[in-house]
Chains A and B, each alone.
Chain A
Amino acid sequence: MKTKEKIILHDHNKDGLDRRGFLECMAWAGTGMLWTVSGGLLGSTLLPSRAGAADTDNLIKKASFSFVQISDSHIGFSKEGINTDVAGTLKEAIARINALPEAPDFILHTGDLTHLAAADEFDTLDQLLKSVKTQQIFFVPGEHDVTGDNGKLYLDGFGKKSKGSGWYSFDHHGIHFIGLVNVMDIQQNGLGALGQDQIAWLAGDLRDRSAETPIVVFAHIPLWEVYPQWGWGTDDGAQALALLKRFGSVTVLNGHIHQTMKKVEGSVTFHTAMSTAFAQPEPGKAPKPGPMKIEAGQLRAHLGITDVNYLEGKNALAIVDSTLV
């Protein structure tokens, strides 16, 4: 990454949710960014795109643990001029993970594992991910994973211990992780939705937790309104965010839009990850969303992984986005 990431902390309305200057708050980058969480406060550092660079190494060495977010692997997708080898680019992403100085404790895959929710696509993904050096992989589905069967194949293979349509939570080193599903009931306006059952479950899941508990929420479609005109947001996401508002440190990790974006609103940091398969246009920069043709040789500058490091006692999450270049 050559450009400095923009981090804008605005809360003009003192409500913890900044709507004004929304676009300013978005950082567009096809590069690497490392997040650190410390004492409920989130920090981030722009890092060289190559794992193993000195800054990254130092950050990872200081961290209590790290995990990696990957997203939108779209196994089964193939289109000339975009990407005809999504399994190959996923393998490259896995190689990047395996080259990290410390193996991540786990991987979060934020959805669209497959392109057509076919059994052989799920199987291919499963086989490829067996080579990742990590202890566990957590998933949430994307809308491509639940096509045609209401997510049955996905749930059978990747969501056995989940609740409802695939949501769940777990704790790790004092951080509470929450996987949400917002792809089962796409709204008339194209936005995702959580639904009242899941929101009620979330309320119960959070009810007895201390406000000091660092929270990491991950879901496929952004929980915030990135660009509603393209359906890039969650219709009832504000209800979930309202439940999270009392917590001192909340990190929301999403995929779906195939590009990195970061926004900070009060104690909530939103982050979207690159795809390992193909890029999509920036909001409003094309007539419509969808797989974007990339100049020959430039594809890997638009694909990547997100490495997240947590420093216990410092309450800092450090997030690093790295391209496959």
Chain B
Amino acid sequence: MALTSCAQNNSNVELSKNSGVPNGRTLFLKNCAHCHGADARGEEGPDLHKLDWTDGQITVRIRNDKSGQMTAFAGKLSPEEISALVAYVRTLK
């Protein structure tokens, strides 16, 4: 629940930063860029721009693994960090 409401906030990235949680871009570079590319245009993983997914769907994908293709971040990243990542992905147009 907290994930969804947080991710729906357009200023989530900045809020995360202010609350001491690394911002979404930083988290993305550390955890996602090696597969999705530093520009999120996709390398081994898909291009994340213009995703036709809900925040909830993105959250679920980040939290749970995908049969050897993507690691499960639940338990590795905090709910706030996952929310920040969702918010960052939402900025990719």
Contact = CB atoms under 8 A, between A and B. Distances in A.
Contacts of A185: 30
A324 B25 CA distance: 39
Interface string B3-37: 00000000000000000000001000111011001
Interface residues on A, range: 20 to 34
Contacts of A43: none
B26 to A, nearest CB: 9
B38 A118 contact: no
Interface string B62-93: 00010010110100110000000000000000
B44 interface: yes
B42 interface: yes
Contacts, number: 54
A140 to B, nearest CB: 15
Chain B interface size, under 10 / 10 to 19 / 20 to 34 / 35 or more: 20 to 34
The majority secondary structure among interface residues of chain A is loop
B42 A288 contact: yes
Contacts of A150: 30
Interface stretch (A17-25, A141-149, A203-211, A236-244): A141-149
Contact of B68 (A78, A144, A189): A78
A188 interface: yes
Interface in A80-137: 115-118
9 contacts: A116-B68, A148-B73, A186-B29, A186-B30, A190-B29, A190-B39, A231-B33, A231-B38, A290-B43
Interface of B: 25, 29-31, 33-34, 37-39, 41-44, 65, 68, 70-71, 73, 76-77
Interface of A: 76-78, 115-118, 143-144, 146-150, 184-190, 231, 288-291
